[in-house]
Amino acid sequence: MKKWFFLIALLLFTITAQADVVGEYVFEGTLGDKIPVRITFCVNGEYIAVGEIFYPKAKHPAPILLVGGKEDWGYSLKEYQDDGTVTGLLSLKMQFGEMEEDPAEFLEGVWMNPKTGKKLPLKNMELVSRSVGDVLEFLDYEDPQNIGREYVYQEWNADDQKMMVGRIMFRGAGKNKLHFDISNDRHAVAKGKSAPDRPAILGETTHDYFYYENLNECNYGFGAFFFKRFVVLKTTSAPGTLGCFGKGASFDGVYMKIKQ
């Protein structure tokens, strides 16, 4: 009886996990002509892409976290270090099939160092696999009791010749409820915090996300999606709601957990 219960639970978990997945990719090729690279990522129903980039011939080979999202032309991904520093920008131009389950074709791609501006084309890229079960491991969602107190990122802005910095502070406000204080310096500073009497409420089933609407007088709204190492913030309101921040600033970004 216990065996059957375990198998049924495993099947339900697998179905739920697969339903949340809209793409799994494993690419192998080179940066430029000489640097071998392997790019692996999985895309969930919110079109958040999570994976890793691996340079096997590096002095100290180790996978580097990739997080990004789907664009009309393909995928935009960034390399993140544990302290939130962005060390690489990836653009993967792809041809998608008419149906979501149809194979996607890699067309071209570029890796760029955000500080130096150096670019290297992705060459000889082969789609080793589009559906590999272990790619699902990257969709590693956070448990509500383990949501951190502080998340950050920093990315070099070539125009202003300085680091753009984003920071989020969370604190508990009751079961599955959070207060937040966010500051994101991307071209202009976007700042905001939850109202004292209106904390963010985590999702009813999985508790690894929340949506918060009408943050300020511009009625700005956003979603927060929690993974074990980071949180992704995405604007959910219309472009006009960005007016309270100026210069198109928003909360959008990937913030790495630095304080539990």
Number of C-beta neighbours around residue 206 at 10 A: 14
User: What is the pTM assigned to this prediction?
Assistant: 0.89
pLDDT of residue 14: 35
pLDDT of residue 102: 63
Mean pLDDT of 138-155: 96
Residue 179 pLDDT > 90: yes
Residue 136 pLDDT > 90: no
Tell me the residue type at 244. Answer: C
14-41: b (≥16 Cβ within 10 Å) or e? eeeeeebeebbbbbbbbbeeeeebebbb
